[in-house]
Amino acid sequence: MTPATRQKVLGLYRKIFQIAKKWQSASGQAEDTIKEKEYIKNEARTLFRKNKHVTDPKLIEQCIEECEARIEIGLHYNIPYPRPIHLPPMGLAHKQGRTLRHQEKLRKISKPIYLKSHDEVS
């Protein structure tokens, strides 16, 4: 990892904890705010520790993009949890008991960047 990339990653880590410190839940309830602050901190710790041994520059850049996207979405919608994927109705319908591999492949490809690591951790 280059020193510039390392600084960027550490800056994102600090930014997440600063956001968690100032976080207010959308409901305004104190217990919701506490739960969401803890979720933000635990999610950051888990994902950063999971990826601390990544050395591939492309994979590091993907992780950085995912982190930035999740920060922006969380701040915009005031929801710390990953937002679900919205697929059209019957997007993964089965045709006479046979799974449609093409549709499953499209679903996997269409997954937004901010949900890539969420499935691996959850």
Domain boundaries, the chain: 3-85
Q: Give the residue-averaged pLDDT of 107-112.
A: 62
Percent of the chain whose pLDDT exceeds 70: 67
Q: Distance between CA 36 and CA 25 in Å, rounded? A: 7
Structure confidence at residue 90 (pLDDT):
52
More confident site: 82 or 31: 31
Mean pLDDT score of the chain: 81
Whole-model pTM? 0.71
Q: Which is it for the CA torsion 87, 90, 95, 98, positive or negative?
A: positive
- Residue 36's pLDDT band (cuts 50, 70, 90): very high
What does the pLDDT look like over 51-100, one tens digit per residue?
999 999 999 999 999 899 889 989 998 988 876 655 555 554 555 545 56
DSSP string covering the chain: --HHHHHHHHHHHHHHHHHHHH---TT--HHHHHHHHHHHHHHHHHHHHHTTT---HHHHHHHHHHHHHHHHHHHHHT--SPPPP---TTTT--BTTB--HHHHHHHHHT--GGGHHHHHH-
- If one compares 117 and 98, the residue with the highest pLDDT of the two is 117
